[in-house]
Structure 1
Amino acid sequence: MPGKVKGLMDRLHDGESVVIAEGYLYVFERRGYLQAGTAVPEVVLEYPEMVRLQYEEFYRAGSDVVLAFTYYAHREKLSLIDREADLEEMNRTALRMAREVADKTGSLMAGNICNSNIYVPNDPDITAKIKSMFKEQIEWAVEEGADFILAETFSDLGEALLALEAVKTYGKGLPVVVTMAWHKNEVNGRPATIDGVEICETFKQLEAAGADVLGLNCARGPTTMLPLMEEVKKCIKTPLAAIPVPYRTTKAEPNFQSLTDPLSGKRLFPEDLNAALCSRSDIKEFGRRCLELGIQVMGVCCGNECHYTRTLCETLGRKVPASRYSADMSKHYIFGTSEKLSTRYTSGEGKQHTA
């Protein structure tokens, strides 16, 4: 039952790290269960056993949180494919499976709300629609036993504040993690949200509005996200979260949407992003820097796979269920050092051959 495991805020107050495995959209798109473009998590209803298995696999890789796959399971997205009638069932099914897996594994379960894609500053009608979208998803998450709410991937401060207000109003006191997706916008030479608010001011306002954890997710890879996290750390005292995409973004191309193929010059997003994937060593470096910066909540977003989450957790000094299968090159037939190996490849002729 919910509440048996140590809560999110208790862990953070005790100085612990919390890993959140994200990236379900890309997992299921790659496997042929979700359409790039519309990006609606229809797989929750059509192949629920696959979603449950992914929850379990991320747990085995070390995730402390079973994040309910309700990202983009909101009215704006479902209306694109004429499936609004499935809205509640899609959300509740994802939440219930997440709760079941969390109870089975002793994990936390998080409800999830996200960018609405319809936000327009100072538009009362749009604001009302967004508030309604947030309200229903939050209430379902509460009813299905979420331990906290992750409100993520906001590019406008205004919409992030709406999400935070909604969780505070309808979340029955659950902690809320708010993460922003940061693009290329600037104000007076400083990084800014799409609605034109400088980075430090953005996080100060979210902190003042009562967010329990604040940070960045999606959009940027580790290399271009961490410098922004250094900026955020200077501005607020709230616990920090960093959940980048596992792509090698650069100063010239800071977001994975802007990455281009070094061979052809063509945009990689969304179907050719594998050409820019991070290595496991990149994820190790990301985890190491998070520890140095005092970032307590971390994970990997769009493009994540279990080996990235496992690598991150092992960088934090953990041994997770999937660590049983972590690389052991001592027994590799060419590079190994075990006395049980044939010497044909590990010495003499083999070494000359591989060299």
Structure 2
Amino acid sequence: MAPATKKGVLERLNAGEVVIGDGGFVFALEKRGYVKAGPWTPEAAAEYPEAVRQLHREFLRAGSNVMQTFTFYASDDKLENRGNKLTFTGAQINEAACNLAREVANEGDALVAGGVCQTPSYLSCKSEVEVKAILKKQLDVFIKKDVDFLIAEYFEHVEEAEWAVQVLKETGKPVAASLCIGPQGDMHGISPGDCAVRLVKAGAQIVGVNCHFDPMTCVETVRKMKEGVEKAGLKAHYMVQPLAYHTPDCGCQGFIDLPEFPFGLEPRILTRWDMHKYAREAYKVGIRFIGGCCGFEPYHIRAIAEELAPERGFLPVASEKHGSWGSGLEMHTKPWVRARARRDYWDTLKPASGRPQCPSMSTPDNWGVTKGHADLMQQKEATTQDQLKVLFDKPKKQ
């Protein structure tokens, strides 16, 4: 049974509690056959509510105490990319997502976070007024459904994130702001520290990063944000929700530049034991809102919850089917597998990829596309199409 009155996110963070976010719904549901890669829009909340509900439930069972609404890219300007094939309005999708998140959150001690993200309107150089209007329309549903707090996430440009925070702040609800940047800063080279200061001054009480980079890179980025905020004499809480992929070869745009994006990323997936290290490092840096983004599955969140169980004072329900550091293997029939039921084995393991001819890293596609570079993007796209046309029109050898 859920408690009658739940502590809010700021109340929990102010008390020094660890708040565990959920994982990456877009990628997880694409793999399960409910989301289309490319548009990445969340109409599954209205089309296949049972799939979204089940994923929420698995993350809750794994230890998450934040159910983020599946509203990523649910702004009207982004949903228009689906054309006539989309039979649901943005409001219907957002409302369905809120209902599902609340239903599952009430099954435990979890909060509901309404999420907005970057908009096509900003990337196509629309005005501040136009961008804010798009965000406010999505926000109206969150107010109607009375979410517990709000997250502005996946922003490549701190300017747009500031606009989002300003809109969200008008509701009076707690606001978290999360950029999809690495240690180099946003797409205009504004440092993580300066980005964080701007977000805090705009009204965000929780700041951090999500997506685009691996856990340790994201932790390092948030560390820089924390340093910047403290140097400016400001106060904030910190959050991190990274990829579940190793990305040491990424540039400033992160994993979207990798040749493997989005369908060949599985060889880069972090193990559950990698997640233990990530959770501990994030905690040591002073981050107390710790979760995941693309690639994260419930077992990754369970690993975070298990690593931080001493600080939280309890294990997640899903640990009943796991055991600490593989202790369940003690019941295995093979002696060499039983011997792996210990922390020092998994903590020092260097997993093999099983791919003898594959490189350990890739050469990213470094297009450098950012706001205002629409002409460059169109030019490169046209060049690519010309090259493909030559390739496919080439006469075949007899």
Superposition deviation, residue 195 in structure 1 = 3.2
- Structure 1, residues 5-50: CA drift from partner, whole Å, max 9, x if none? 1110010010011011131000110011111001111211211111
Structure 1 range deviating more: 138-147 or 248-257: 248-257
The residue aligned with 1:43 is 44
Partner Cα separation in structure 1 for residue 257 and residue 275 of structure 2: 21
CA distance in 1: counterparts of 2:191 and 2:280, whole angstroms: 27
Q: How far is 1:134 from its partner?
A: 1.0
Query: 2-side partners of 1:131 and 1:229: how far apart?
Result: 26
- Between the aligned partners of 1:44 and 1:199, the Cα distance in structure 2 is 33
Tell me if 1:195 matches 2:206.
Answer: no
The answer to whether the 8 A contact 1:218-1:301 is kept is yes
Preserved contact between residue 193 and residue 224 of structure 2 (Cα < 8 Å) = yes
Residue in 2 aligned with 1:207?
Answer: 200
Report the equivalent of 1:249: 247
Aligned to 2:285: 293
**8 Å contact kept, 1:179–1:214:** yes
Determine which of 314, 318, 321 is the counterpart of 1:322. 318
Q: Does 1:97 align with 2:100?
A: yes
Q: Say which is worse superposed, 204-213 or 11-20, in terms of deviation.
A: 204-213
User: What secondary structure, in the 3-state scheme, does the structure 2 residue paired with 1:153 have?
Assistant: strand
Q: Are residue 74 (structure 1) and residue 75 (structure 2) matched? A: yes
Structure 2 residue 57 is matched with structure 1 residue 59 = no
Q: Which letter maps to 1:314?
A: E
1:229 corresponds to 2:258: no
Distance 1:252 1:128, change over 3 A: closer
SS class of match (1:21): coil
Q: Distance in 2 between matches of 1:226 and 1:280?
A: 17
Any idea what SS the aligned residue of 1:105 has? coil
Taking structure 2 as the reference length, the TM-score comes to 0.77
In the alignment, the residues of structure 2 paired with residue 300 and residue 109 of structure 1 have an alpha-carbon distance, to the nearest angstrom, of 16
Q: Letter of the aligned partner of 1:241 in structure 2?
A: M
Deviation readout 1:197-237 (Å, 9 max, x if unpaired): 22221111111122110001000101322222221121113
Is the 8 Å Cα contact of residues 78 and 84 (structure 1) preserved in structure 2?
Answer: no
CA contact (8 A) 1:60 1:322 kept: yes
> Is contact 2:192–2:222 with CA below 8 Å preserved after alignment?
no
TM-fit CA distance, 1:84: 7.8
- Cα separation, partners in 2 of 1:71 and 1:120, compared to 1, 3 Å: closer
SS in 1 for 2:121: coil
1:332 aligns with 2:314: no
| Correspondent of 2:90 among 63, 87, 92 | 87
Partner of 2:375: none
User: Which whole-Å CA distance do the structure 1 matches of 2:98 and 2:89 have between them?
Assistant: 14
Displacement of 1:251 in angstroms is: 5.2
Aligned pairs for 1:128-139 (under 5 A) are 128-139=129-140
In structure 2, runs of 5+ residues without a counterpart are 230-234, 340-398
- C-alpha spacing 1:37/1:309, structure 2 compared with 1 (3 Å): same
Partners of 1:250 and 1:93 in 2: how far apart?
Answer: 37
Whole-Å Cα distance in 1 between the matches of residues 108 and 18 of structure 2? 18
| Structure 1: distance between partners of 2:122 and 2:3 | 34
Does the C-alpha gap of structure 1 residues 113 and 252 become closer, same or farther in structure 2, counting only changes over 3 Å? closer
